[in-house]
Structure 1
Amino acid sequence: MKLQPYVTRLNESKEFKTFSKEHKDAFVAAGFFVIDFESGKNIHQIDYYVPSKKKVAAFTLDKGIKLQMMDMLNEKAPEKLDLQTKIDLATIKGILQDEMHNRNITEDIKKIIAIIQNLDGKRIWNVTCMLSGMELLRAHVEDSSESILKMERVSMLDIIKKVSPEQFKAMQGQQTGEGAQPTQMATSAAPSADAKSLAAEKIKKLQALEEQIEKQKVELQKQLNQIKDSKQSKSAKKKK
């Protein structure tokens, strides 16, 4: 899946032409993509930054062209992004799998959430993968060299322990308000050391995964209940 057909489709749409006339200073700031290998429900979104309004225009390209204007989380503007990328959506999985093999990571990739931005003059893919075995894989991939700059594997259980659904929703409401999308976080600049920026960074990483985490939590609870029932059954038999 090349990015250019999506860019062309957006540029030729009535929605974008109207937007361009009204916001002549806008430029591409980020791309947000979800590739779900199980359900086939994918998301393709391109973000434009509007300096005059300090807002992000998020264009979703699935089932028509949809535009949503969103506020920035901080005052630092994102860098301009050229979507003529060397890596495309079809090759990301293979690049990740090669590095996973080198690190003896054997789980399958179930879903890829990929954000591309220009950071310090370089196109970087910020990727989060849902793996089999209730784990997440996070990686930074440099577009020009197709090389992995950073990769880490994280257990969903650790995330569930650290951030409860109630805490997550409270953080989400404080930082973004209702209706904010994952790409709003992506188009913001790199977080500073203050508490608000750190919280926003955590939200960015967790927002797209909230639903999956909830499902895994339910499954864990079922397993715990089964173990508990089994122990109670064995205990009852011993008493007899």
Structure 2
Amino acid sequence: MGIIKGNNAGEQLNNLSFQIRESYKMARTSIAYSIIKKGCKKVAFTSSTKGEGKTITSTNIAVALAQQVGTRVLIIDCDLRRPRVHSAINIEPFPGLANYLNEECQLDDIIKDTGVDNLSAICFGAIPPNPSELLSSDSMHEMIKELEKRFDYIIFDTPPVNVVIDAVPMIKESDGVVIVVRDKTTTYANLNRTKESILRAGGKILGVIINRVKSSEAKKGYYYQYK
């Protein structure tokens, strides 16, 4: 699976193999048709544990969504303990989400251009001592309400739900949740716990994306699944 980096992230997505590129587009289409509503669609990406490819997947799908004509997309790094979005697209993380929620800057200060047409990002800004409290705060809720007026899609890159509870507020804010799993790494037990955690939080599971499948299996049609 390709990692997007730098100001040519959209170009790099185009340069991925046809199979991977089409898989991102297929996931993009599935997400679009899984959320039937007017206005901004909010999607949370999570996983069971760290290292399953959640940020790579969410950023690449954000790029794929932004490549649709007239579609404004924002990705927010909500993993305030192990933030990765800024490194995935190679942008400055400061100021960011934690700075805004602590009233250190204005909203426009943290919405950053990614170099990809129609794609913006909000990075972490700082690693706070109380990430779950910040994400569940009234300020976070009000910020999202304002952002809904500006974007067609908001992608939340959230922490793994089996590790910390920080993802729960964003699951509640979202219209649906995508679970990212790593082939031959994520266990069925962890996946079931993830599913139950999301459902207990009132989340709607849109599907499961499987990545890091070996190319030999990809030829059989299993490289990238969205169900």
Q: TM-score range by the shorter chain?
A: under 0.3
TM-score, scaled relative to structure 1: 0.26
* Greater relative contact order structure (CA < 8 Å, 6+ sep): 2
Q: Which of the pair is proportionally richer in strand?
A: 1
Larger radius of gyration: 1
TM-score, scaled relative to structure 2: 0.27
